[in-house]
A and B are shown apart, each in its own frame.
Chain A
Amino acid sequence: MILDIKNVSKNFGGIKALKNINFSVKKGSIHALIGPNGAGKTTLMNIISGIEKMDSGDIYFKGFSIKDKPPYKRAEMGLARTFQNLELFGNLTVLENVIVGMYLKNQRGFLSSGIMLRGINREIVDKSLSILEYIKLSHRQKEIAKNLPVGEQRLLEVGRALATEPELILLDEPAAGLNMRETKNLSQLIQKIRDEKGITILIVEHDMELVMGISDLITVLNFGEVIAEGEPLMIQKNPHVISAYLGED
């Protein structure tokens, strides 16, 4: 198991956003987290990446508790993510966005940065270019990120996450706002990342065709609780899940 969520709870004021969440993500798998709006999926993603704090419980990444670690330490350990509400570096170029993703493995002190004449070396640029090729955005490398269409911005977020050389990527609704062709490309990319790079994927997504097509295991959240877990075919037939999505009758 690469990620273990243990009894995680979170309240916002009086609202219980997450109640005793327990599940584990297997190394090398594509694991989906689904549920109706307001089920607590994004909250859980924020807690795993360290942007929000949980009220109780613990999270283990590669067997180590990361509860008290700030987000940048979790990134150092090999955890990367994308954002539902796109958090690109809008004023930087597409290439620079990926270059910043490589900061983790290439950081330098102030003094050596100031004395160095070459700035960012060829190796970093080449690596970033090859990532852009991998996500098929090479032709956009010089554009300012905020000028890209949403579909390409989502791809760039994936590319930037890849640049940190992670072991686990959290994808928060990567298909939101994409058309059918883009969604198909995205699902191929996600599988390619897992198959070729061996990176584990935890994905939150509303597009059921995408989720059912690529996931090894699905965890279903509703009103902050896990109501079901299993393989895609089992989840599709699960009466709890059906009633959560269609409403009780």
Chain B
Amino acid sequence: MTKGNAIAVLLLGILVILFPQLTTDNYILTIAIFIGINALVAIGLTILMGYAGQISLGQAGFYGIGAYISAILSLYLGLPVLLSMIIAIAIASITAVVLAIPSLRLKGHYLAVATLGFGEIIHIILHEWGPGGPSGFGDIPPLSIFGYILHSTLEYFYLIWLCIIVIMIFSLNLINSMTGKALRAIHDSEIASLTLGINITKLKIKVFVLSAVYAALAGALYAHYVTFLSPSGFSLFYSVLVLMMVVIGGISNIWGGIAGALIITILPEVLRGFKEFDILVYGMILTLSLLFMRKGIVPLIIETYKRWISK
């Protein structure tokens, strides 16, 4: 990890610890939890798009697999929640491998098309065969870690943001490693990377699996936090929303995933005041920010800061 990133992680940690001191409002903590859950999915997609140059339109599928499988295993088979989550994440990653091998062996954006179909298939399966069908099911056991059951919003807030800090450290290390350098190299020249001995297809598959693992983890956390699931939250719309977070946050920097999740999650809440015009304003903000901040917010902030420093 570079120095700048280490400081940023530290600051994030301090912010997470202090945040509940600033507010005890459960509504705000709940939104912070949803920002965290969305950020997990978005960080994975940022790495996939920014570092492997691939687009996935099916992150909702992995998010759904993580949520549903973990919920079903713990609710109907009585498995411990932690074990259910691990199994759910494992199943999501196996699914990702199966999906990636044929589509990443081809050149071009076949993964985008394959994941689009995959996401829809998962959504239909949840809709038709998931417990409760389209209306969903509840009574999912809350998260428990080695016998300790999490109850309060505050506990979930800490747990989810701890997950994010761990995942950020892992991801930043990865990007700063030889593997990360190789990923950036692939972005610039696939041919040269191949002749240097880099197995491009294998690396791309691994990054895709990583993004699926992050999404499935987020889904499982969501299921045990909300304790109620219905298929509507796992449609193409969610995949596009995550894509939006990544683009607005900035695909070239994984902090963009968190920034994008923050903005996209808060925006509808802030726009409540506009009543029936909220969708209109929402759309306008997104369009304008794409027009004027092509690179995304985080890279823009870093560039502005660097320019300011050098003056």
Contacts and interface: CB of A to CB of B under 8 A. Distances in A.
A91 to B, nearest CB: 6
B178 A103 contact: yes
Interface residues of B, number: 29
Contacts of A115: 170, 173
23 contacts: A49-B195, A51-B194, A51-B195, A72-B194, A72-B199, A72-B200, A75-B197, A83-B192, A87-B192, A89-B184, A89-B189, A90-B189, A91-B187, A92-B188, A96-B184, A99-B181, A103-B198, A108-B178, A113-B180, A114-B171, A115-B173, A120-B177, A164-B196
Interface in B12-46: none
A124 B178 contact: yes
Contacts of B101: none
A185 B184 CA distance: 31
B191 interface: yes
A117 B1 contact: yes
A164 B188 contact: no
Contacts of A49: 195
Contacts of B180: 113
A107 B179 CA distance: 7
Interface in A83-118: 83, 87-92, 96, 99-104, 106-110, 113-117
Contacts, number: 115
A28 interface: no
Contacts of B206: 110
Contacts of A101: 196
A119 interface: yes
B178 A113 contact: yes
B254 interface: no
Nearest to B199: A72
Contacts of B176: 119-120
Contacts of A164: 196-197
A96 B176 CA distance: 11
Counting contact residues on chain A (CB < 8 A from B), the size range is 35 or more
B87 interface: no
Interface in A149-177: 160-161, 163-164
A144 B33 CA distance: 40
Contacts of A124: 178
B197 A72 contact: yes
A194 B98 CA distance: 46
Contact of A89 (B170, B171, B185): B185
Nearest to B166: A114
Nearest to B173: A114
A76 B197 CA distance: 6
Interface string A178-215: 00000000000000000000000000000000000000
Given A103-B181, A104-B198, 18 more contacts: A72-B199, A75-B195, A75-B197, A76-B197, A83-B191, A89-B192, A100-B196, A107-B182, A108-B177, A108-B178, A110-B179, A113-B177, A113-B179, A114-B171, A114-B174, A117-B1, A120-B177, A161-B196
A103 B177 contact: no
Contact of B196 (A80, A91, A92): A80
Nearest to B200: A72
Contact of A71 (B1, B181, B182, B194): B194
B176 to A, nearest CB: 4
Interface string A110-147: 10011111011000100000000000000000000000
Contacts of A100: 181-182, 185, 193, 196, 198
